[in-house]
Amino acid sequence: MNTVVPDEALVERTVRGDTRAYDELVCRWQSVIYNLVYRMLGKEHEAEEVCQDAFTAAYLNLKNFRRESKFSSWLYRIAINLSTSHLRKRQRTPTDSLDEMTERGVSAEIEAVQWNLNGGPSVEARLLERDRARHVRRAIGKLADEQRVVLILKEYQGLTFKEISEVLNVPVSTVKTRMYAGLNEMKRHLNHAGLQGN
């Protein structure tokens, strides 16, 4: 019977020089952290880069990791801080070209056609779904950083209010306030875009 080694034990082993222990932590958390960063940034290549930076930063600072919170909470915090910094840099220097946006639109249509050929929803239904998802992503992107982070952690990462409270180091009541304010703001953006915000 294989027993799962707790994250904190792997941290201890890494600090003592066992690099394989850190490899195991990376394997364990890589997809979770990537998904979080991707939800925040919306671009694959940027998400990959920031995700890698998060694991590098965590590794370099493991000796400073205080056991007051879980390793996962600490890692989330690092990824959130790096993603937020990256978003601020991006806002100062927009990089999306028309070619890049057109290419993404064409690939979305190709994917929709392939989905339909395989017995999925019609091309029209698939494109409408993609359009709604694009509006939702845009609405999330317009939220204040603190609201966006809470919404992503709760709705996309599946964390509880208590877990989010630990990640952000704020009271549960603050997490809930940010969550509901973010949802109301999103609903306003979606209604403005002609979509019913659910």
Any domain includes 118: no
Identify the pLDDT of residue 180.
Answer: 93
Any domain includes 197: no
Provide the number of structural domains found in the chain. Answer: 1
Identify the pLDDT of residue 98.
Answer: 39
Identify the pLDDT of residue 128.
Answer: 65
For residues 44 and 73, what is the distance between their CA atoms, to the nearest angstrom? 23
For residues 65 and 63, what is the distance between their CA atoms, to the nearest angstrom? 6
Give the pLDDT means over successive 10-residue stretches in the chain (198 positions).
Answer: 84 93 96 94 92 96 84 95 91 55 43 48 61 78 91 92 94 95 89 63
For residues 69 and 78, what is the distance between their CA atoms, to the nearest angstrom? 13
Any domain includes 138: no
For residues 25 and 34, what is the distance between their CA atoms, to the nearest angstrom? 14
List, in order, residues 6 or more apart from 112 with CB less than 8 Å away: 123, 126, 127, 130
List, in order, residues 6 or more apart from 167 with CB less than 8 Å away: 69, 73, 76, 77, 80, 153, 159
Any domain includes 64: yes
Any domain includes 11: yes
Identify the pLDDT of residue 29.
Answer: 97
Identify the pLDDT of residue 127.
Answer: 61
Identify the pLDDT of residue 170.
Answer: 95
Identify the pLDDT of residue 63.
Answer: 86
Identify the pLDDT of residue 133.
Answer: 73
For residues 39 and 130, what is the distance between their CA atoms, to the nearest angstrom? 15
Identify the pLDDT of residue 18.
Answer: 93
Any domain includes 53: yes
Q: Which residues of 108-132 are buried (b: 16+ CB within 10 A; e: fewer)?
A: beeebeebeeeeeeeeeebbeeeee
Question: What residue numbers bound the domain in which 86 lies?
Answer: 1-95
Identify the pLDDT of residue 91.
Answer: 76
Any domain includes 91: yes
Amino acid (1-letter code) at residue 146: E
pTM of the entire predicted model: 0.75
Any domain includes 130: no
User: Where residue 30 sits, what CATH number does that domain have?
Assistant: 1.10.1740.10
CA dihedral 155, 43, 32, 120 (to 10 degrees): 70
